[in-house]
Structure 1
Amino acid sequence: MPAIAVILAIGMAATAAAQMGPRSRAHTTLQSDGTPDRLPATSQAPGTQSVTATVEGDQRIIIASGMPGHAVGRFPNSGNPHSIRVQNYRITLDATPQKAGRTTPARGYPFGIALNGVVFDPGAAEWYQGRPGPWQYEPLSGAVPLGLDANNAHVQPSGAYHYHGLPEGLMAQLGVSRDTHSPLIGWAADGFPIYALYGHLDGADPASPIIEHSSGYRLKQGRREPVEARGRFADAPTPGGYYDGTFVADYTYVEGQGTLDECNGTFTVTPDHPEGTYAYFLTRDWPVIPRCFAGTPSESFSAMRPARAGGRVDGNRDGNRPARPGGPRDGDRFGRPPQRF
């Protein structure tokens, strides 16, 4: 198994397990069809959308209420028992990010934040037989009922609404179209920009055709085999069945098979960066939201790791807390119209 896949599968599981404790649900599903049930987005979030962002020196400071500003599904629901609540996000990102020379797995905390102040959080604290380790369920596989809505989002116990896949409502609001380069969708935890689906065929040429970017991850072939695991995860059971995308470990990165690198990124010119920048792209194919960083993720995102509080897992690493330092209380500084970052 390639090193990046081992790191993703074990690293993400280790952090989530250390934070969540023993309350994970014990699933035994082996196969899925890749089409999770999604609730219609016909409700409004109960709080006011507010996003402010300033660049101070080499830092981008984002304060957000976590309210999406687009229609959402009904929460609580049968797959997710939590209600949406206003958050107190205060996030500090590198405004002049650089690639680190090595990749860093998204170890159990959000990948980034969207323009509307909702976090991208692709992983799920759901494992085969409830045993944290390499065999972590993929939230978008449909194997575990998570109560996702039409925006591929649901809610943590903290009340944080968050995206597990393509943010359909936000993309519609921003006018994402296959005819033009994607508008800016948000910022990753390492400070690089996030776009959705569409970019230039030649990243160095702004006149080159617009394409839909594709991931280089592919399903492994044949029956599932044990994944190397160490320490407390060494005895995690290996599910039977065939690689079909039910588990994160069903995928492996194949160099040159897509238009993006193992972190779903590439160097490219964009409308916001005509001089060129490394940028991440959300894709239709797995991983949809990237699962690793090319740069160094901000500690303000690591502060959003899952809490130790008890309660049912119900759907992901539920329990993430908004970053606290300097963050306003509910309602304070919220209520102004959202701003583009």
Structure 2
Amino acid sequence: MSAELTGSYSIVDSVTGTQIDVTVTGDRRIIRANGLPNHQRGSFPNANNPHSVSAQTYEFQLPLHGTRAGRTTQLVLPQPFGIATNGVLFDPLAAEWYRRDPASGWTIEAIGPSATLGLDDNNAHVQPTGAYHYHGLPTAMAIQQGAERHSPLLGWAGDGFPIYAGFGYIDPMDPTSGITELSSSYRLRSGVRPDGPGGAYDGTYTEDFEFVAGHGMLDLANGRQGVTPEYPDGTYYYVLTDTFPFIPRHFVGTIADSFRRSGRRDGPR
């Protein structure tokens, strides 16, 4: 079904409660969804996530084809990154800090050695609003047969560019070049933290990581330009990885107005 997902489609699942309707018209992709996944989800509330899952009312109008801006834009709470093909939001940032202090300069990662945010097997949990959302790769959506195939289309970022999982063509512009795992160019810093929590950099905090151009195959926004099965003429696309940043933390295009979020978001997520 992956190739069909670039056009108009609907998913209605009476078992999971999933409802999503995507309409492609002109140069827009209109997405209406209730945010319930079409796969099994963990038990919520749980010991580390006290919230119950409930249906949401999402309506987004994204550009059908993203346009790169002059510079990247970093995600800032409460801005989500994108929406999956099943209508669940990709939302990597956690409203958790060292000593619960946003001014500490140390942001706790949702997926890390000390994380206690009650994530399920799809790296997802629930906001106080009842919104189920992914903090990392949703494994139920990214299933593929080994590393012989290009990863499936998983969704769209808030700027309209597509999102894939971790496998793509060795030569980004040549679909006959074979398949490889697309590695992030972020790495753990070496040494110890100079202040705040102290201790060795171990991935507990966002600030434990640094971007090193060329360290991996992906850029600052965890993406690259290339061809994919759904975009044989080429496009910029983002990649979800099983290492930091998991879900990209930057947009290369302009965020659609309907997808912009600002303001305050506090508490465990």
Same fold flag (TM > 0.5) = yes
Q: In the alignment, what sits opposite 2:189? A: 220
What is the distance in 1 between the residues matched to 2:90 and 2:41?
15
1:185 to 135, 154, 164: 154
How far is 1:57 from its partner? 2.0
Q: In the alignment, what sits opposite 1:313? A: 267
Q: In the alignment, what sits opposite 1:251? A: 209
Question: Which structure is higher in strand share?
Answer: 2
What is the distance in 2 between the residues matched to 1:79 and 1:126?
13
How far is 1:306 from its partner? 5.9
Would the aligned equivalents of 1:206 and 1:269 in 2 still touch at CA under 8 Å? yes
What is the distance in 2 between the residues matched to 1:56 and 1:114?
19
Rg larger for: 1
Verify: 1:272 aligned to 2:230, yes or no.
yes
> In the TM superposition, what whole-angstrom CA distance separates every residue of 1:73-112 from its partner, at most 9, and x where no partner exists?
1101110111100110001111121111211001121100
Would the aligned equivalents of 2:16 and 2:39 in 1 still touch at CA under 8 Å? no
What is the distance in 2 between the residues matched to 1:61 and 1:244?
40
Report SS of the residue matched to 1:141: coil
Q: In the alignment, what sits opposite 1:84? A: 53
Q: In the alignment, what sits opposite 1:260? A: 218
How many equivalent pairs are there?
255
TM norm structure 2 = 0.90
Change in CA separation of 1:285 and 1:271 when aligned onto 2, cut-off 3 Å? same
Would the aligned equivalents of 2:115 and 2:204 in 1 still touch at CA under 8 Å? no
Amino acid at match of 1:297: I
Question: Which structure is higher in helix share?
Answer: 1
What is the distance in 1 between the residues matched to 2:119 and 2:223?
26
Verify: 1:123 aligned to 2:83, yes or no.
no
Would the aligned equivalents of 1:92 and 1:298 in 2 still touch at CA under 8 Å? yes
2:28 to 42, 59, 66: 59
Would the aligned equivalents of 1:194 and 1:279 in 2 still touch at CA under 8 Å? yes
What is the distance in 2 between the residues matched to 1:282 and 1:210?
16
Q: In the alignment, what sits opposite 2:37? A: 68
What is the distance in 1 between the residues matched to 2:136 and 2:47?
20
Q: In the alignment, what sits opposite 2:168? A: 199
Amino acid at match of 2:214: G
Aligned-residue CA RMSD (Å): 1.8
TM norm structure 1 = 0.72
Amino acid at match of 2:239: F
> In the TM superposition, what whole-angstrom CA distance separates every residue of 1:243-269 from its partner, at most 9, and x where no partner exists?
111100010100110000010000010
Q: In the alignment, what sits opposite 1:16? A: none
Amino acid at match of 1:285: T
How far is 1:46 from its partner? 8.2
Would the aligned equivalents of 2:113 and 2:203 in 1 still touch at CA under 8 Å? no
2:106 to 126, 135, 148: 135
Report SS of the residue matched to 1:139: coil
2:128 to 157, 163, 187: 157
> In the TM superposition, what whole-angstrom CA distance separates every residue of 1:15-55 from its partner, at most 9, and x where no partner exists?
xxxxxxxxxxxxxxxxxxxxxxxxxxxxx998611111112
Q: In the alignment, what sits opposite 1:166? A: 137
Write the mapping of 1:7-26 to structure 2, written as runs, cut at 5 A.
none
What is the distance in 1 between the residues matched to 2:30 and 2:158?
12
Write the mapping of 1:109-120 to structure 2, written as runs, cut at 5 A.
109-120=79-90
- Runs of 4+ in structure 1 off by over 2 angstroms are 44-47, 305-308
Q: In the alignment, what sits opposite 1:241? A: 199
Report SS of the residue matched to 1:75: coil
Using CA pairs below 8 Å that are at least 6 residues apart, which structure has the higher relative contact order? 1
Would the aligned equivalents of 2:156 and 2:162 in 1 still touch at CA under 8 Å? yes
Structure 2 regions of 5+ residues with no counterpart? 1-12
Amino acid at match of 2:121: A
